[in-house]
Chains A and B, each alone.
Chain A
Amino acid sequence: MSSRERILSSVRTAITGATAPVVPRGYADRLELDAAGQIALLVERIRDYKADVRVISQADLARTIGNVLGERSASSVVVPADLDPQWLTTVTCEVLRDDPPLDARRLDQVSAVVTSSAVSVALTGTIVLDAGTAQGRRVISLIPDLHICVVPAQTIVGTVPEAVRRLDPVRPLTWISGPSATSDIELNRVEGVHGPRNLVVLIVN
């Protein structure tokens, strides 16, 4: 008998007579907040993780991206192959488009990355990237030390259940809640281990 058959047969013997309960789903799946309230909550929660978060208008997006890269003295920035060139009109540092795909060692020399995002959760301050439009491959938002992440206001939801229902599990998903952090040394939270140590979130209203 194969290991597969042995395990399945042991499982079947073990659960003989086991009854499956009806799962109680009394938990909340949305917040009693309007769109402005959700944005305000998302800002507060992202700030709690020590990320830099700004609410801007679409007209200010390109100028803000240029300013953030300048403020942080970025010498180069990588962007997804399909990022709107209009977002980069004020960028003065070197721009690398991930097309053809850059290898990891090259990305390790790049200071910053600009991406969009798929869904954000106000209650937990979480941003989800699903490799969709203007988000690129997972590796580009991982290796550079500064991640400028654009959150379109219409992608913001209140709760985790709302976010899960909007996502397609077949896509590679990355949920981001603040910059990389660890609490491994005497439980002191330290921002920044392996992922980007600096996260700048631009909520476009």
Chain B
Amino acid sequence: MSRPARHDRRRRGTEPVRLHPKPDQAFLGMPAFPDAARVALGDQQLRANLRHATHTIRAKRLNAVGEMPDWQDLRMAAAGIKDETLAHLDDYLVQFEQAATAAGATVHWAVDAEEACRIGVEIAQRHRARDVIKVKSMATQEIGLNEALEAHGIHAWETDLAELIVQLGGDTPSHFLVPAIHRNRDEIRDIFTERMGQVGRAAPDDLTSEPRRLAEAARLHLREKFLSTTVAFSGANFAIAETGTLVVVESEGNGRMCLTLPDVLVSVVGIEKLLPSFADLEVFLQVLPRSSTAERMNPYTTMWTGVSPGDGPQEVHVILIDNGRTRALADEVGRQALRCIRCSACLNVCPVYERVGGHAYGSVYPGPIGAILNPLLHGVTDEHDAQLPFASSLCGACYEACPVAIDIPSVLIDQRAAAVREKAHHRVPTAESVAMKAAAWTFGDAKRLARAQKTASLGRGVARHVGWLPGMLGGWTSSRDLPEVPRQSFRAWWSQREDTATVKALEE
């Protein structure tokens, strides 16, 4: 679904801005945040859906968290465990590999998305799979696994209800927990009615937009795929170094289906998903469900360690991916972003996310966490990622909500500085950088500043009220008037203050 817009994307030439990118464009074709945000803000349906969803889940989350008197203790423990893991990540990765291998799994390592996809495609090809089923996973979306499989003639079927809506609707997720948050029930009914029959069991003729009926249509459509597919792909919420155990947290049972029914299971796991010991789950299984779906516990959690003879997949692979994580890990301020457990609490409380939705961020990782994670993973040399740290009001709601206490505002500020430094180093001078240099020169010397202020005051007679500025300054005055220049500068007034009765009165 494309929406026309006034601004063209720099990398795609004259093609119009697409708010909901097609999967094969995998976010690369997304416009920069300000352009995408402008389009999103004009979409009344999107804003209504987002407002309803974020406000509902915010209220629910406060109840779920408020029930736990030891919430702050859990939060500090979760942050501490993750920091401890990251500080010894090399040891934990090796330990995980040994334990998982001993339990019958095959562990692969992938430096980047391309390598991870290649390993995944090879496994599917070795089993002559034409179709594979998938549990919702941020990591496989990040590496573009579905597109890589498709390029080799292998269809990857998403089995999470929201991911199914997104896949059949031909767009991309806009939230990590409820990826179809930008769609309402009527839109979902239309997508099911139109598309299900083209790729498998059709939706019932009398399908209504009642959520129960829509869920039933998805159950019937996907049951056939679960029973006939032999290779599944998943991510993992946690990977336990001590035991080689993987954990998937879910609601619908599609995860259990994918993790139990096929012969072959391939899990794509970011290296930051490790936890040192099985006992550490006692913290994360408390903070994750309450922060994400605002439930005391999610309906289903599956834990598996290598191969269990006679129970579940008998060929188990784990692909450990870096794909920028060691880059983020090297950033002393930013490495805390790798604590993220993808709960999405920060998205739901963010005033910017609430108004523009996930697609405007142009990344698999939207919202406040995406605004720091993307530049940390990729660097700020990419113009698109460099803009994301500015997509925030720095209100701090995300930090409060974060169950692993990531200080997102501080990392945002640090990444803003990195983006500005990057620009200064590698770009031809812009109007902004020239103006800033001029300002630095003026402010750098008291005499120069006094002269400039005097000049500005003299100009008062010419322009009392300024409602419009030319060129790059026009962005500022498009929604504000320029303040009137005072008759006298503060510095001039200060130097004369002994002569005035008011100041004397104040000093007494």
Which A residues fall within an 8 A CB radius of B?
2-4, 6-8, 10-15, 18-29, 45, 48-49, 101, 104-105, 108, 121, 123-126, 131, 137-139, 142, 160-161, 163-165, 167, 169-188, 190, 192-196
Contact A12 B90 (CB under 8 A): yes
Tell me which residues across on chain A come within 8 A of B293, comparing CB atoms.
183
Interface residue B300 (Cβ < 8 Å from any Cβ of A): yes
Q: Which of B243, B252, B322 contacts A180 (CB 8 A)?
A: B252
A173: B residues at CB distance < 8 A: 301-304
- How far apart are A65's CB and chain B's nearest CB, in angstroms? 23
- Most chain B CB within 10 A, of A8, A23, A165, A176, is at A23
- Interface membership of B211, Cβ < 8 A: yes
A contact patch SS? loop
Whether the pair B261, A8 counts as a contact (CB closer than 8 A) is no
Within 8 A of A (CB), among B308-350: 308, 310-312, 320, 322, 326-327, 329-330, 332, 335
Residues of A within 8 A of B90 (CB): 8, 11-12, 15
Q: Which of B73, B179, B216, B278 contacts A26 (CB 8 A)?
A: B73
Complex CA gap A12/B293 in Å reads 36
Known: A27-B70, A186-B49, A195-B256. A21 touches B80 (CB 8 A): yes
Asked, given contacts A142-B260, A186-B184, A186-B211, whether A170 binds B103 with beta carbons under 8 Å apart, the answer is: yes
Interface hit among B120-128, B199-207, B279-287, B492-500: B279-287
Which residues on A sit within 8 Å (CB–CB) of B283?
A: 27
Give chain A residues whose Cβ lies under 8 Å from the Cβ of B180: 184-185
Q: With a CB–CB cut-off of 8 A, which chain A residues contact B329?
A: 10-11, 14-15
Using known A-B contacts A7-B320, A23-B77, A125-B296, determine if residue A160 contacts B286 with beta carbons closer than 8 Å: yes
| A169-B240 Cα distance, complex, nearest whole Å | 9
Contact, CB under 8 Å: A160 / B282: yes
Among the stretches B16-24, B154-162, B428-436, the one at the interface with A is B154-162
Comparing B29-37, B51-59, B396-404, B459-467, the segment that makes contact with chain A is B51-59
Task: Say yes or no: A160-B285 contact (C-beta < 8 A), given A7-B271, A142-B260, A182-B251.
Answer: yes
Taken together as a complex, chains A and B put the C-alpha atoms of A167 and B286 apart, in Å, by: 16
Contact B310 A137 (CB under 8 A): yes
Are A108 and B227 neighbours in the complex by a CB distance under 8 Å?
Answer: yes
Instruction: Given the known inter-chain contacts A108-B223, A138-B312, A185-B188, please indicate yes or no for A193 contacting B252, CB distance below 8 A.
Output: yes
CB distance from A50 to the nearest CB of B (A): 11
Residue in chain B with minimal CB distance to A193:
B252
Q: How many residues of B are counted as interface, with CB atoms below 8 angstroms from the partner's CB atoms?
A: 93
B87 within 8 A of A: yes
Extra contacts besides A20-B83, A138-B260, A181-B299 (13): CB < 8 Å = A7-B111, A8-B93, A23-B84, A27-B73, A101-B310, A125-B297, A138-B302, A164-B279, A172-B302, A174-B300, A175-B303, A188-B211, A193-B218
Which residues of A have CB within 8 Å of B335?
14, 18
Residues from chain B with a CB closer than 8 A to the CB of A188 are: 211
Question: Provided the pairs A15-B87, A23-B80, A169-B305 are in contact, do residues A194 and B297 lie with their beta carbons within 8 angstroms?
Answer: no
Tell me the complex Cα distance, A22–B81, Å: 9
User: Chain A residue with minimal CB distance to B89?
Assistant: A11
B94 in contact with A8 (CB, 8 Å): yes
B115 to nearest A CB, angstroms?
6
Residues of A with C-beta under 8 A to B251: 180-183, 193
Q: Are A169 and B245 in contact (CB under 8 A)?
A: yes
Q: A3-B115, A28-B70, A194-B222 are in contact. Are A21 and B83 (CB under 8 A)?
A: yes
* Contact between A24 and B73, CB atoms less than 8 A apart: yes
Contacts of A163 in B (CB 8 A): 282
Q: Is the CB of A3 within 8 A of B111?
A: yes
Q: Out of A104, A177, A182, A193, which one reaches B297, CB within 8 Å?
A: A177
Q: List 11 A-B contacts (CB under 8 A).
A: A23-B81, A24-B73, A48-B296, A169-B305, A170-B243, A177-B297, A182-B251, A184-B178, A185-B211, A194-B252, A195-B256
The 7 closest A-B pairs by CB, nearest first: A195-B253, A194-B253, A10-B326, A23-B80, A20-B87, A14-B330, A193-B252
Known: A23-B84, A160-B282, A190-B215. A2 touches B109 (CB 8 A): yes
The answer to whether B87 touches A186 (Cβ under 8 A) is: no
- Knowing A7-B271, A26-B73, A192-B219 are in contact, say whether A20-B93 is a contact too (CB < 8 A): no
